Structure 1
Amino acid sequence: MSEHRLSCEELVKDHGGSFQLGPLSCALSEGVTCLVGPNGAGKSTFFRLAAGIEKPTAGSIVLESAKDHRLGYLPQEPDLPRSATCEEFLHYVAWVHKIPPKQRPEAVADALVRVNLTERHRSKIRTLSGGMLRRLGIAQSLIHDPALLLLDEPTVGLDPRQRIALRETISSVSDGRIVLVSTHLVEDIRSLADRVIVLNAGQVIFDGDVPELEDKATTDAPGDTDLERAIATLMGDTE
Structure 2
Amino acid sequence: MPNSKKLNGAGKTSLIRVLATVKTPADGTLEFQGKSVDSMTSRISVRQKLGYLPQDFGYYPGFTVREFVSYVAWLRNIPRGRTKEAVCQAVEEVGLAERLDTRIRNLSGGMKRRVGIAQAIVNKPELLLLDEPTAGLDPEQRVDFRALLRRLGQKSTVVVSTHLVEDVAAACSEVTLIDAGRVAFRGTTVQLAHLGQVGDTGDNAIERGYAAALRAHRAGVKTGVAS
TM-score (norm 1): 0.81
Secondary structure of 2:2 counterpart: strand
User: Is the aligned partner of 1:63 residue 2:42?
Assistant: no
User: Is the aligned partner of 1:101 residue 2:70?
Assistant: no
Contact 1:205 1:234 survives alignment (8 Å): yes
Distance 1:204 1:61 in 2: 17
Distance 2:27 2:68 in 1: 37
| Structure 1 runs, 4 residues or longer, greater than 3 Å off | none
Structure 2 unaligned segments of length 5 or more: list them: 35-44, 219-227
2:128 to 136, 140, 149: 149
Distance 2:113 2:120 in 1: 11
- The CA deviation at 1:37 is 2.1
- The farther-off stretch of 87-96 and 214-223 is 214-223
1:49 to 7, 18, 22: 18
Distance 1:38 1:218 in 2: 21
Structure 1 unaligned segments of length 5 or more: list them: 1-31
Give the share of equivalent positions with the same residue, in percent.
Answer: 40
- The CA deviation at 1:235 is 2.6
Letter in 1 for 2:87: V
Contact 2:192 2:213 survives alignment (8 Å): no
Contact 2:150 2:172 survives alignment (8 Å): no
* Paired positions, count: 205
Distance 2:23 2:11 in 1: 13
- The CA deviation at 1:176 is 3.4
User: Is the aligned partner of 1:123 residue 2:92?
Assistant: no
1:89 to 68, 74, 81: 68
Alignment of 1:194-209 (within 5 A): 194-209=173-188
Contact 1:215 1:230 survives alignment (8 Å): yes
Once the two structures are superposed, residues 143-162 of structure 1 have per-residue CA deviations (whole angstroms, 9 ceiling, x without a partner) of 01111111001011111111
Q: Which has the higher strand share?
A: 1
- The CA deviation at 1:129 is 0.7
Letter in 1 for 2:148: T
Letter in 2 for 1:84: F
Once the two structures are superposed, residues 30-60 of structure 1 have per-residue CA deviations (whole angstroms, 9 ceiling, x without a partner) of xx22222222222112111101112223322
Secondary structure of 2:29 counterpart: strand
Once the two structures are superposed, residues 171-229 of structure 1 have per-residue CA deviations (whole angstroms, 9 ceiling, x without a partner) of 11222321000112222111111100000101111000011101211333211112111
Secondary structure of 2:129 counterpart: strand
1:217 to 196, 199, 203: 196
Once the two structures are superposed, residues 123-175 of structure 1 have per-residue CA deviations (whole angstroms, 9 ceiling, x without a partner) of 01001111101111000000011111110010111111111111111111222
Q: Which has the higher helix share?
A: 2
Contact 2:130 2:160 survives alignment (8 Å): yes
Letter in 1 for 2:71: Y
Distance 1:144 1:154 in 2: 19
* Aligned residue in 2 for 1:162: 141
* Aligned residue in 1 for 2:224: none
Root-mean-square deviation (Å): 1.7
Distance 1:146 1:52 in 2: 14
Distance 1:161 1:226 in 2: 22
